[in-house]
Structure formats: C-alpha cells, structure tokens
Amino acid sequence: MKKRESLNKSLKPHWVWAIALGSSIGWGAFVQPTNWISQAGPLGVIIGFGIGALLMMLIAVSYGFLIKNFPVSGGEFAYAFISLGRKHAFISGWFLSLGYICIVALNASAFALMFKYISPSFIQKMHMYELAGWDVYFTEVIIATIALIVFAYLNIRGSGLTGSMQFIFCVVMVIGVLLLSVLVGLSPSTDIGNIKPFFNPEVTTFSAIISIVAIAPWAYVGFDNVPQMAEEFHFSSKKAFRLIIFAMIAAFLLYSFMIFTTAMTEPWLVLVSEEHLWGTGFAIENVLGTIGLFILVIALTMGIFTGLNGFILSTSRLLFAMSRAKVIPSAFSKLHPKYKTPYVGIIFTTIIAMAAPWFGREVLVWIVDMSSIGVSIAYFYTCFTAYKLFKWSKKNTSGPEQALVAPWKKLIAGIGIIASLIFIALLLIPGSPAFLGIESRIALILWIVIGAGFYLVKRREYNSISEEELNYLILGEHANGKFLK
C-alpha cells in the first residue's frame, strides 16, 4: 500500500481560534449591516443571528466529537465517508469545496468594493462593461486579483506563517469594532432611539427573523474550517470544540456590535431608504468623520484578510484530502518540496476565485446563497455521522461501543440534522424568505452537472480502491479506531 501523504503539525490553539473567528466574520459584518437592517430591523437581525449561533453551536457538538476522534484533513468529506461511504463522501466534499471557493471569491470582490468607496476616482478607470446594473472596472479586478495572489503565496509558505498572521488580523479587527462602538455610542449626534422600530414594519416579525436565520450557515461559516486543519493541530484535538464555541460567541458579539453601531448613527429607516454604495461606511463617516471611516476600513480590511486567509487554507486542505483519496486528480495532494503545503490546491482555489471580480457587485449576492447551500449540506453530513455513531443506551452495545453511549449528544446531533435540513429548505423551497435567486440556482445546477460529470469520469478508479485502502487514505492511523466497524 502506497505511503499516505500527511501535513506538518504546526497550528497552535489561538491560531485555530483566530481562523474560526476571522473566517466567520469576513467582510459581512462591515459591509452588510444596512442591508440586513433593512431586511429585518436592528433587533430582528440580532435575534436572527442569535438563533443562528445557537443552531450552529448544536451542530458544533457533532463537529467537536468527530474532530476529537478523527483529526484528519478533509473534515466533512471524511465524516460522510465514515457513515455513508464513498459516494456521499464525494457529494459532501464537492458541495463544501463550492462553498469555500465562493467565500474566497466573495472576500476578494469585497476588497475591491471597499476601494471603490474610499477612492472612486482611482477605481473608476478602465471601464469594461455593465453587468446587472453594475459598472465593472478593470482597476477593481486588478486589486482583487493582487489580494488573491498575495494570500495564495502566504499560504504556500506554510500554515505556521498564516496562522500567526490570522491571530494578529483578528486582534486588530476586534479592537476596531470595539473602538467604533464606543466612539459612536459617546457621540452627541447619535441616539439609542435611532434603533426603533426594532423590526422591519413591512413584514411580520417572524418573517424578519427567519430571513436572517436562513443566512446563519453563511454568517458563521468558518468554524467548520477547524476540522479541515485538524491534521495540523500542534495540540490535543480535544480542545477543538471549545475553540469553535468561543469563536462563535465572539462572532455573534461582533455582528451585534456592528448592527447596533450602524443603527445608532441615525434613524435606521432613513438610513436604509437612501442609496449608498456602502451604507455602513456612509453612516460611520457621517458621525465620526474621516477618523471613524479609517477605523472601519482597517477593521474591514482585517475581516477580508482573515476570510481570504482562512478559506484558502481550508479549501486547499479539503482538496488535498479528496485527492489523497483519489477522488480528484493526484496533483492536489502533492506537497510543496520546501514548505510541505498542498500548493496545487492553493493555486487552483486562487485561479477559480479570480473570476468573481469580473462579475461586479451583484455576484456577491449570488455567492452568499451558493456558499450557504454548500456548507449546509456539509453540516448535514457531519451531524448525521455523529448521530449514527452515538448510542441511545448500553442495550445491544458492548466493548468500545459502550464509550459512545451518549443519549443527549445523540439528541443534539439529531437536532443538528433537522437544523441543517431547514437551512437547505429555506434556500431551495419557492416562497421561502431566503429562496435562491435565479442566478444562484443556475450556478448551483451548473456546479451539480460539473460534479456529476467529474464523478462519472473518476468513478471507475475511485470505486476500484479497496475499502481497506480507502479507509487508510482518508482516515490514516484512525482507520482502525474503536468507533469504526
């Protein structure tokens, strides 16, 4: 049996926490507040994100258990294989790679959009075309492309470098958010009463909250980067669950601070009724001037950098694991001769993400929906695997399986399955507040067709691998663990 490629153990606990938090926050907390507030009202957004965080924490219980017992690259790809076999492993990995690549592209596009607000005269040069009512300039394409190339290079240099940078980026981002909240709160021109009405008066309170809950998989996606890096932990995998929970609590608080800070600047119904390229940027600059905008831009830049860094890292590890299992070309599991990183997956992710800036701002909306579907499917497989492994009682269990008797955890995993299916339904059922737009549906169908074609091409080779060898390729030394038949 051919020797299995493995990654170096270089990631420290606080780096992993920063990867989970920074990937969860990304650009959304700084660019989207006015859009979310217009959709649900300030309190509606906070409650929606709060419910979403609780649901994600329930799902995280399954992640914590599986990471502890199967600390291998691939995360949900490996988990689907454990419970449902190789076909479902491919489906899980394919959809998750879609979600991750979309978010890399999304952060690159958001970086260019930030420059468009700060210095429109600089960006609005070399006009190429208009798409969906949005002018696309070659200058913003160049900026997004440079950002992608820089973080691809840094990721190739090694997870130790990117992990330490991620922690620094997160600390600066948190300080920026707290500073903005304090300055806006102390400003004589702001008023806590500006956050009224608490909910969008044009829709029911339930619809307002549910529309935000539906995007929770996107808002908190990033905590699931942790299992992708489990093989590189330079600490016990038992700590993973706590790191995930701490990251999600911090993410919810940062989202909440930015929502209240934005809504306090002026009556929010007035703020969202006006056309602004960047609503939050306008609101902060209007109250705090250039200094406030500068702090916001720094926080946003750190959010974008953490998103780019975290998802390039996790996408390359997912592709590495799938390639190691021979479900995608072997090039993706090659390690850099000097830095020992899966450089082909890093380069591939970067090249695919480079397409997003050519589609303008509208592509951001499409990408959010697409990434939500991808990660929700991965959440389902993770919770299903944990549910299948946990036992209700000691009845009909013996030996090592008795260690899995955990009725409460099995119940929580079952709730996680239901939550994942609800997220998927909200995005796919017509009439739902979060039903996918036509562009997102077309792109999703295209991705499914490409995946089906890819699987048909690789099916014979993939299915010819013996179960014993595939167990070893995907799970390594954990292939003969006490929880596997």
- Boundaries of every domain in the chain: 13-380+425-478
Nearest to 60 by CA among 423, 425, 413, 374: 413
> Would you state the pLDDT for residue 348?
92
- As a whole number, mean pLDDT of residues 375-392 equals 90
Q: Are 52 and 216 contacting, i.e. CB atoms less than 8 angstroms apart?
A: yes
Dihedral pair phi/psi, residue 405, rounded to 5°: -70, 105
Question: 13-380+425-478: which CATH number, 1.10.150.120, 1.20.1740.10, 3.30.70.20, 3.40.50.620?
Answer: 1.20.1740.10
pLDDT digits (tens, 9 = 90+) for 415-450: 999 988 988 888 888 887 677 778 788 878 888 888
The pLDDT mean for the chain works out to 86
d(CA 274, CA 268): 10
d(CA 278, CA 282): 6
Q: How far is CA 378 from CA 26, 80, 96, 340, 373, in A?
A: 20, 8, 6, 27, 9
> Would you state the pLDDT for residue 363?
65
- pLDDT band for 451, please (50, 70, 90 cuts): confident
Q: Are 375 and 96 contacting, i.e. CB atoms less than 8 angstroms apart?
A: yes
3-state secondary structure 369-416: HHHHHHHHHHHHHHHHHHHHHCECCCCCCCHHHHHHECHHHHHHHHHH
pLDDT digits (tens, 9 = 90+) for 194-236: 888 989 888 888 888 988 887 777 788 888 889 998 999 989 9
Dihedral pair phi/psi, residue 244, rounded to 5°: -65, -45
d(CA 79, CA 475): 10
Give 477: exposed, middle or buried? Use CB within 10 Å, 0-12, 13-18, 19+: exposed
pLDDT digits (tens, 9 = 90+) for 290-314: 999 999 999 999 999 999 999 999 9
Question: Does the structure show a pLDDT above 90 at 79?
Answer: yes
Paired with 127 in beta bridges are: 137
d(CA 485, CA 472): 14
